[in-house]
């Protein structure tokens, strides 16, 4: 039946469903997975929600799964295959899982896109052949550095008397790019390199940052003024909570994060300001929507997504967070 006839029947309230339209049939059957490394974090909750919503708009199903280690990721892929999924978007818990994940996906004929954290090969280079969408880590890191420098100036602090708590995660390339970007700006601006102290975290969450930060603060209790940066706001919040434990108040601390998720909104909504000064917000909504839609187009139209898409960020503080949130559709 010609589509126009079918549509007019629909309009007339006929018993026909969209699935009966030849071309739409296959698309209605599309099911994709969306696997994230930290399903409880606000960034990932919003990303998966946005993917689900674009699926509802375009007519495909999104199965949301957590994959907090390699074993869980492989089970998630098996699970998706048994549900008939044709592909998945993944933010992996470890970027070195790339070849294991791709082997499993290829066995099942599933298409894969990475979001946020890009797979690396044996030499630490981006794994080829897997389209990726993530933030432009170095540029966004530079925005963090600029915000920190501007706030040191605004408070009239002498940079020589300020310590930087750099919470690092050097195994994750995007994390390293972000902290490197911030460090470069600070040093170019004149921040003393010897005042930068590393706190290597085991993970990308608040608890691991808190554990990493505490010993550094106790070793350097000669500093009264601290700036804090890391790959994301969850980690900066861990650092800020650690400074509070050491009796440093909001006046002594400038933390600037990255993400612009519920974790930051909760902090900005407190009645009293904390040392969490701001965060460079990136649209997790866009990350979720765009990757899910690209995967859907790839499955249904054979259009392969670009190899690498980089997204940008906007500084969000206590003063403008609600506007930026609305602007970014968060
Ligand atoms: C990493 C971080 C997340 C978030 C994303 C954004 O996965 O762990 O908190 O910043 O990048 O791309």
Within this chain, do residues 71 and 60 fall inside the same structural domain, yes or no? yes
Q: Identify whether the C-beta of residue 299 lies closer than 8 Å to the C-beta of residue 32.
A: yes
- Structural domain count, the chain: 2
Is residue 252, in this structure, part of any structural domain at all? yes
pLDDT, tens digit, 9 for 90 and up, residues 41-52: 999 999 999 999
Within this chain, do residues 301 and 170 fall inside the same structural domain, yes or no? no
- Residue 43 CB–ligand 1 contact under 6 Å: yes
- Residue 205 CB–ligand 1 contact under 6 Å: no
Q: Identify whether the C-beta of residue 130 lies closer than 8 Å to the C-beta of residue 87.
A: no
CA dist., res. 215 & res. 179, Å (int): 20
Within this chain, do residues 177 and 189 fall inside the same structural domain, yes or no? yes
Within this chain, do residues 291 and 202 fall inside the same structural domain, yes or no? no
User: Which residues in the chain land under pLDDT 70?
Assistant: 1-28
> DSSP class of residue 259?
E
Element (H, E) at 125: none
Q: Containing domain of residue 182, as a range?
A: 137-281
Within this chain, do residues 265 and 185 fall inside the same structural domain, yes or no? yes
pLDDT, tens digit, 9 for 90 and up, residues 194-211: 999 999 999 999 999 999
Residue 75's CATH number: 3.40.50.2300
User: Burial letters for 37-66: b for 16+ Cβ neighbours within 10 Å, e otherwise?
Assistant: bbbebbbbbbbbbbbbebbeeeebbbbbbb
What tokens does 296 get? 């859907």
Task: Decide: helix, strand or coil at residue 221.
Answer: coil
Instruction: Look up the pTM and report it.
Output: 0.91
User: Which residue is it, tokens 């998630």?
Assistant: 76
Of ligand 1's listed atoms, the one at least distance from the Cα of 115 is: 12
- Residue 233 CB–ligand 1 contact under 6 Å: no
């Amino acid at each position: 039946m010609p589509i126009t006839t079918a549509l007019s029947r629909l309009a007339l309230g006929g018993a026909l469903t969209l699935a009966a339209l030849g071309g739409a049939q296959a698309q209605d059957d599309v099911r994709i997975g969306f696997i994230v490394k930290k399903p409880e974090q606000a960034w990932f909750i919003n990303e998966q929600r946005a993917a689900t919503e674009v699926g509802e708009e375009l007519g495909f199903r999104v199965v949301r799964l957590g994959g907090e280690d390699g074993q869980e990721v492989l089970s998630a892929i098996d699970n998706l295959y048994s549900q008939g999924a044709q592909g998945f978007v993944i933010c992996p818990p470890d970027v070195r899982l790339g070849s294991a994940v791709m082997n499993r996906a290829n066995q099942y004929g599933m298409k894969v896109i990475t979001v946020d954290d890009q797979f690396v090969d044996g030499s630490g280079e981006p794994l080829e052949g897997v389209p990726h969408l993530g933030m432009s880590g170095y540029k966004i890191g530079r925005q963090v550095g600029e915000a920190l420098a501007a706030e040191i100036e605004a408070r009239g602090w002498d940079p020589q008397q300020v310590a930087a708590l750099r919470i690092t995660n050097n195994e994750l390339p995007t994390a390293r790019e972000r902290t490197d970007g911030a460090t470069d700006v600070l040093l170019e601006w004149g921040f003393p390199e010897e005042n930068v102290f590393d706190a290597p975290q085991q993970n990308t969450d608040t608890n691991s940052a808190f554990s990493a930060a505490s010993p550094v603060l106790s070793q350097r209790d000669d500093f009264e003024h601290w700036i804090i940066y890391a790959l994301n706001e969850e980690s900066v919040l861990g650092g800020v909570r650690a400074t509070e434990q050491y009796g440093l108040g909001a006046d002594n601390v400038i933390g600037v994060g990255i993400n612009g998720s519920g974790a930051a909104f909760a902090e900005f909504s407190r009645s009293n300001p904390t040392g969490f000064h701001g965060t460079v917000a990136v649209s997790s909504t866009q990350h979720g929507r765009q990757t899910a839609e690209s995967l859907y187009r790839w499955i249904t139209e054979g259009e392969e997504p670009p190899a690498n898409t980089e997204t940008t960020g906007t500084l969000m503080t206590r003063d403008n967070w609600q506007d930026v949130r609305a602007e970014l559709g968060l």
